[in-house]
């Protein structure tokens, strides 16, 4: 009798609480589940009847003495009944699977969507530390685990055990204790061995999955950073790293295969002993005349019928154990709470222009390394305020705090007079537009990447935003124009082109507050001037916060704040800071000299 085991990660123990998490999804389809269970019961009834029909067919032929039509009609009727029972068994099982398939698919859809939404709700810190490849595998295993668990646990484990008890009872009633005892002991031995062997195999299967996730994560990480690999000619290095991970996977897979051999071998041995014992006992009884040939056939049919689901029970146990572990990993992800949460009864921030106020704000990623130190400043409605300073001075961190990617450790930040911790994150971010220094685009067309600023915008509005961002000339030179695909993360575009797409996207969003994080850093001088004019035109009358490296781009700012090691070192207009002759004046002088050399 052939049987197979499949490789899963059983985990360290049965995660029974996972069932409680899945119950709400199951209860949505009560009627459908009841119908599926009814079909299951009918299929099992047909399955148990089949060996008895087979017995009577054999006995009918054995008892036939002459060729009378009456004696011939009986076996023919039984053969028809046998075929009907077989057919009904299959039909009821198919109806059961069809009915329950909807439950499984809808549950996977609901949980998959919930996980996707939850990942977007998690804080920036989580996403900065995650491994995309490993995370995607966890989600994939989790959804697959739900499919396995709901199919096998609901319609295989309990029905199989029920069928085993029914068959044991039939054998005991019709043929005595010896036959029933052999079946019962073999079931107990098989289940016990499967459980013990599966627990033993746990760490080997986990090694396979760990190695698989590691190699997948490294491969995705390397491909996402394709350009960097090429810049440093590290193709061979990346290949060696990947091969090292694959070697770990190969070794883990080999250990896993050997342990699977031990598991399959032990199960096969138990089945062989039980099958041989049952058939030997049946043969002896038949030879003694206490059993008919039909009884012998019935015993053999029940042996086949009992050990096929019994063998499947071993597979199902391992699948359920692995599925529970995989589902738990996904539910643990769902239970992970973001560090930044909306306050209870948080207000909705109206999308209107207003002041930005940082009041005694302090922030640190780690307790021993403060980034922002007691900073206070105001950006009044319609003003353009620039943040300048060396790298690491805290400029970009202030923007992250404004967007509430992190919450300040001390102090408060307000927009339109409202503390941003007391308004919903969605309404806050809907009121702010940003052109980041490092623009990452979706692998879609230029048109759709710009439309992402306002997903319901018309083509006309999108094209207008593209025009304001001075993308027309570039797009007109492309064979497919705005329908040109930009590639993964926008790799087909230059840095300046990507930034102009980002500017067009922000223009389309049309928020009351604009943030420009070194928005012209990747542009040449001519393009920079064009973009600066566009920014000036777009931001006219709006509240603007500009992070700048090139001081020449913010000389028209209403206020310039120079940061130094997380503190405000100087503050004023361009002319005031030049007259002050401090750090800003020194930076201005250095950049002017560099500009003169280039010229």
Report pLDDT digits (tens) over 106-144. Answer: 888 888 888 888 787 776 777 666 665 566 767 777 777
Same domain, 324 and 353: no
Per the listing, tokens 């190969």 go with 250
Boundaries of domain holding 213: 17-335
The SS3 assignment for 346 reads coil
CB–CB of 262/30 below 8 Å? no
CB atoms within 10 A of CB 324: 24
Same domain, 37 and 124: yes
Q: Which residues pair with residue 413 across a beta bridge?
A: 358
Q: What is the pLDDT of residue 7?
A: 41
Per-residue pLDDT tens for 219-232? 888 887 887 888 78
Same domain, 197 and 122: yes
Q: Which residues contact 17 (CB under 8 A, 6 or more apart)?
A: none
CB atoms within 10 A of CB 116: 11
Per the listing, tokens 């004019």 go with 533
Q: Which of 335, 362, 386 is the last residue of a domain?
A: 335
Residue 446 located in a structural domain: no
Residue 88's CATH number: 1.20.1560.10
Cα gap 139→366, rounded to integer Å: 30
Same domain, 185 and 134: yes
Q: Which of 307, 335, 363 is the last residue of a domain?
A: 335
Do the strands 418-419 and 410-415 form a parallel or antiparallel pair, or are they unpaired?
antiparallel
Distances (CA, A) of 535 to 54, 468, 482, 490: 86, 9, 21, 22
Per-residue pLDDT tens for 27-55? 777 788 888 888 888 888 888 888 888 77
Residue 198 located in a structural domain: yes
Same domain, 422 and 563: yes
Q: What is the pLDDT of residue 2?
A: 40
Same domain, 356 and 402: yes
Residue 367 located in a structural domain: yes
pLDDT tens by residue, the chain, 599 residues = 444 443 444 444 555 666 677 777 777 777 888 888 888 888 888 888 888 887 777 777 766 544 444 455 566 777 888 888 888 888 988 888 888 878 888 888 888 888 888 787 776 777 666 665 566 767 777 777 777 777 776 667 767 777 778 888 888 888 888 888 888 888 888 888 887 887 787 778 778 878 887 888 888 888 878 878 887 888 898 899 889 888 988 888 888 888 888 888 888 888 889 888 888 888 888 888 888 888 888 888 887 777 776 666 666 776 777 777 777 777 777 777 778 888 888 888 887 777 899 999 999 888 778 889 999 999 998 888 999 988 888 888 899 999 898 899 899 999 988 999 999 988 898 888 888 877 888 888 989 999 988 889 899 999 988 888 878 888 888 888 889 888 877 778 877 788 888 888 888 888 888 888 876 665 666 666 666 776 677 677 778 899 888 888 888 889 999 998 889 999 999 999 999 999 999 989 888 877 666 55
Closest CA to 100 of 23, 36, 144: 36
Q: How many domains does the chain have?
A: 2
Q: Which of 282, 307, 335 is the last residue of a domain?
A: 335
Residue 178 located in a structural domain: yes
Residue 584's CATH number: 3.40.50.300
Same domain, 272 and 304: yes
Same domain, 37 and 70: yes
State the distance between the two ends of the chain, measured CA to CA, in whole angstroms. Answer: 85
Same domain, 160 and 262: yes
Same domain, 66 and 115: yes
Q: What is the pLDDT of residue 154?
A: 62
Residue 545: its H or E element: strand 543-547
Cα gap 375→99, rounded to integer Å: 62
The SS3 assignment for 6 reads coil
Per the listing, tokens 């961190």 go with 397
| DSSP tag of 368 | T
Look up residue 320 and give its two tokens: 């359920």
- Mutual orientation of helices 30-63 and 158-175 as an angle, nearest 10°? 30
Residue 254 located in a structural domain: yes
Same domain, 162 and 241: yes
Residue 521 located in a structural domain: no
Same domain, 163 and 103: yes
Residue 181 located in a structural domain: yes
Residue 462 located in a structural domain: no
User: What pTM value is reported for the model?
Assistant: 0.64
């Amino acid at each position: 009798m052939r049987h197979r085991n499949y490789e899963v990660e059983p985990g360290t123990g049965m995660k029974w609480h996972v069932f409680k998490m899945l119950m709400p999804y199951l209860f949505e389809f009560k009627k459908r589940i009841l119908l599926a269970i009814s079909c299951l019961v009918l299929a099992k009834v047909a399955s148990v009847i089949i060996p008895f029909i087979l017995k009577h067919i054999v006995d009918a032929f054995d008892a036939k003495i002459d060729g009378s039509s009456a004696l011939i009609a009986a076996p023919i009727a039984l053969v028809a009944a046998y075929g009907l029972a077989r057919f009904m068994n299959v039909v009821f099982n198919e109806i059961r699977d069809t009915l329950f398939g909807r439950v499984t698919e809808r549950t996977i859809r609901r949980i998959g969507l919930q996980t996707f939404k939850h990942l977007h709700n998690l804080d920036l810190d989580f996403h900065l530390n995650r491994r995309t490849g490993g995370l995607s595998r966890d989600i994939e295993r989790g959804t697959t685990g739900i499919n396995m668990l709901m199919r096998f646990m609901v319609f295989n484990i309990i029905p199989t055990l029920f069928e085993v008890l029914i068959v044991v009872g039939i054998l005991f009633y019709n043929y005595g204790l010896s036959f029933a005892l052999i079946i019962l002991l073999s079931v107990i031995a098989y289940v016990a061995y499967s459980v013990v062997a599966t627990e033993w195999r746990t760490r080997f299967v986990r090694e396979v999955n760990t190695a698989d996730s590691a190699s997948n994560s490294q491969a995705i990480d390397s491909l996402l950073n394709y350009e960097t690999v090429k810049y440093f000619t590290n193709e061979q290095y990346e290949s060696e790293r990947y091969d090292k991970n694959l070697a770990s996977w190969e070794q883990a897979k080999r250990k896993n295969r050997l342990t699977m051999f031990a598991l399959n071998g032990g199960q096969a041995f138990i089945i062989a002993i039980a099958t041989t014992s049952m058939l030997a006992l049946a043969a002896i009884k038949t030879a003694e005349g206490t059993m008919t040939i039909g009884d012998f056939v019935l015993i053999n049919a029940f042996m086949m019928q009992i050990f096929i689901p019994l063998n499947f029970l071993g597979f199902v146990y391992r699948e359920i154990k692995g599925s529970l572990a995989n589902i738990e990993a996904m539910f643990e992800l769902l239970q992970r709470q973001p560090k930044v949460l909306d306050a209870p009864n948080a207000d909705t921030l109206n999308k209107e222009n207003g002041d930005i106020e940082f009041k005694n704000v302090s922030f640190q990623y780690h307790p021993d390394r403060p980034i922002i130190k007691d900073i206070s400043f105001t950006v009044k409605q319609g003003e353009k305020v620039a943040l300048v300073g060396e790298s690491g001075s805290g400029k970009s961190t202030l923007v992250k705090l404004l967007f509430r990617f992190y919450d300040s450790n001390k102090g408060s930040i307000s927009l339109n007079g409202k503390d941003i911790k007391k308004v919903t994150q969605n309404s806050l971010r809907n009121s702010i537009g940003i052109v980041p220094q490092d623009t990452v685009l979706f692998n879609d067309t230029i048109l759709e990447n710009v439309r992402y600023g306002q997903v319901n915008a018309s083509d006309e509005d999108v094209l207008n935003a593209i025009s304001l961002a001075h993308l027309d000339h570039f797009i007109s030179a492309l064979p497919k124009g705005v329908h040109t695909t930009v590639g993964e993360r926008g790799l087909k575009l230059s840095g300046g082109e990507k930034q102009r797409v980002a500017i067009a996207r922000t223009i389309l969003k049309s928020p009351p507050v604009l943030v420009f994080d070194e928005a012209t850093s990747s542009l040449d001088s001519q393009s920079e001037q064009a973009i600066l004019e566009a920014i000036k035109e777009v931001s006219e009358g709006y509240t603007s916060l500009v992070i700048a490296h090139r001081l020449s781009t913010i000389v028209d700012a209403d206020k310039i704040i120079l940061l130094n090691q997380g503190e405000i070192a100087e503050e004023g207009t361009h002319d005031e800071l030049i007259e002050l002759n401090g750090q800003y004046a020194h930076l201005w002088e250095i950049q002017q000299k560099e500009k003169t050399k280039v010229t």
